[in-house]
Amino acid sequence: MLKKMISVTLISSSFAPNIFAAATALRCQVDSLDAAQAHERNRYVKTCFPDVIWKHATLLNGSRKPTHFDEAWKLVHKSLEMNGTRPLERPSHYTPVFLASPSADHPIPWTAPKVGPVDADLVDENTKQAFCNRPENVPPVDPVLGAIGFQLNYRCISSCFAPEVRVFFADSYIPMEKAFEVKPEKITVLSEKATFDNMSYRTEDIDLWTTSIRSEPHTLRNITTGNGHSLRVTPNHPLVTADGYMRLAQDIKPGDSLVHADGTPAPISSIKDEDYFGKVYNVQPKGKSAKGNIIIAEGFLSGSNFIQNEGYEFVNERIFRSELPLELVR
């Protein structure tokens, strides 16, 4: 049914490993923070791990070390939190790792602070150190894997699918865990002129793959519709709802409706939060538009990795505007 509905270019090498595959980004799995919490986490790192800020800013500045720390922070803040077409904070933040072996498949036993310093903590170096030396702010040392800390190349990429979730790539559905292994070159996305009553699609090159640094405990939202179809996603994963908005899974409730790939509503019958231990995955097409980052997952319209990160301004925006049929509005 989906193949009849979508006009796409078929590629015979969908399942063949691709030496030119897109880059891979790593998702923080210790915690996924909202924009306000992410800002606080980054301010904590700024205060207690200034070397991370210096190194990150130098990289962003073409390998030239900024003259002042305030300049360094401004570069980092913009890169982490302020990308997009509008100055809207997004939830990209530093995530704790084992410094000696960041990708070791071993859970991190510590959640870094979600609350940064207040003005009283920044009066002078002594008060800064007092803040950083509070027990809750000091990263522990694992007896096997050593110190936990922060590295500039391990930053949070939010929003992911469970490994079994099938995404429609160039000509077929592939479970995300399998897709991450074979890395098809193209994915099916909405065309810019698509409406709920006149859906159209195109294929787009894949720009980025996302996976967890290591196997970790997660909370996944298992969303089931009235026809028995379901998908499992992280709570901050963006999905299109039948009122035309892009919503985070954590803000969707039973009685709301997802949207089938043919544009029809899919009323939600149940939502269950489930404990899961393992890795989660996501994918990002090239392009920076909202519709160009709506993909098909288990037959439903879903935002890509871009929507929850660089394109965070599209969250809670009506992606389908005046063309939305009234009968689809909840």
pLDDT at 113 > cutoff 90 = yes
Same domain for 228 and 179: yes
DSSP structure class, residue 71: H
Q: What is the pLDDT of residue 57?
A: 94
pLDDT at 109 > cutoff 60 = yes
Q: What is the pLDDT of residues 191-206, one digit of tens each?
A: 999 989 889 999 999 9
Tell me what the mean pLDDT of segment 70-84 comes to: 84
Last residue of a domain, one of 149, 181, 214: 149
Q: What is the pLDDT of residue 329?
A: 40
Q: Any idea which residue has 């160039």 for tokens?
A: 170
How far, in whole angstroms, is CA 204 from its chain's centroid?
19
Q: What is the pLDDT of residues 140-165, one digit of tens each?
A: 998 888 999 998 777 776 668 999 99
Same domain for 81 and 219: no
For the CA atoms of the chain, what is the radius of gyration?
A: 21
The rounded distance, in Å, linking the Cα atoms of 90 and 136 is: 25
User: 297 near 229, Cβ under 8 Å?
Assistant: no
**Residue 196 lies in domain:** 2-25+158-328
Selection from 319, 287, 320, 322 nearest residue 305 by Cα: 287
Same domain for 125 and 104: yes
299's tokens: 């037959």
260's tokens: 């089938």
What element of type H or E holds 23? strand 23-27
pTM over 0.95: no
What element of type H or E holds 57? helix 50-60
In the chain, how many domains are there? 2
Last residue of a domain, one of 149, 175, 203: 149
Strand, helix or coil for residue 230 = strand
Instruction: Identify the CATH number of the domain in which residue 267 sits.
Output: 2.170.16.10
